[in-house]
């Protein structure tokens, strides 16, 4: 037996001004996407924006339902729309913002496990690292690839 250490680096920003213009643009798209959030039950509004390798940005926002499990997170709304409209086109970056009552939280908005699994699927499909930006007004985290936020990703045993 041996103990194995897993570590990775990620970037932390304390304001949107510190971020690269491309990342800022994607965060601004996610903030804009938050306007489309329909969250009358949780009142937690999330916006997401995904960039494709041709530069196209596709937005999504969480959509809730009175039958709770029928709703969907912002990230999956964005990624599913992106791949439905641009089948197979690689996704290169995804930005997420969230907050109660259409505000933007100070702390980073971190994606749920199911959304991370969907990110892994599209990163695999695209064959390129998918960067993940978790935005907060006072603190933002940027990760270089989905593997960093979902270590030991399930990779299907099916032939690709
Ligand atoms: N939500 C997202 O849109 N993304 C996440 O990664 C976590 C949670 C939504 C789902 C629900 O509409 C609300 O936030 C509260 O959980």
Q: How many residues are present in the chain? A: 160
Q: pTM for the whole thing? A: 0.96
Q: Ligand 1 pocket, 93 CB below 6 A?
A: no
Q: Which segments in the chain show pLDDT lower than 50?
A: none
Which tens digits make up the pLDDT trace of 39-78? 999 999 999 999 999 999 999 999 999 999 999 999 999 9
Cβ–Cβ < 8 Å for 116, 82 = no
Report which protein residue has its CA nearest ligand 1's atom 4: 73
SS3 32: helix
Q: List the catalytic residues.
A: 75
């Amino acid at each position: 037996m041996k103990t194995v250490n897993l570590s990775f680096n990620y970037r932390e920003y304390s304001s949107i001004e510190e971020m690269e213009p491309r990342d800022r643009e994607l965060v601004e798209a996610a903030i804009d996407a938050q306007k489309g959030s329909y969250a009358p039950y949780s009142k937690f509004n999330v916006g997401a924006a995904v960039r494709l390798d041709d530069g196209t940005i596709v937005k999504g926002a969480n959509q809730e339902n009175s039958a709770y499990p029928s709703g969907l997170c912002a990230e999956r709304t964005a990624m599913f729309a992106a791949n439905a409209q641009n089948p197979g086109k690689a996704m290169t970056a995804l930005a997420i913002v969230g907050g109660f009552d259409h505000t933007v939280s100070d702390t980073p908005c971190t994606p749920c496990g199911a959304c991370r699994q969907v990110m892994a699927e599209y990163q695999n499909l695209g064959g390129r690292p998918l960067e993940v930006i978790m935005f907060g007004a006072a603190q933002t985290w940027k990760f270089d690839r989905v593997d960093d936020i979902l270590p030991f990703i399930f990779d299907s045993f099916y032939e690709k």
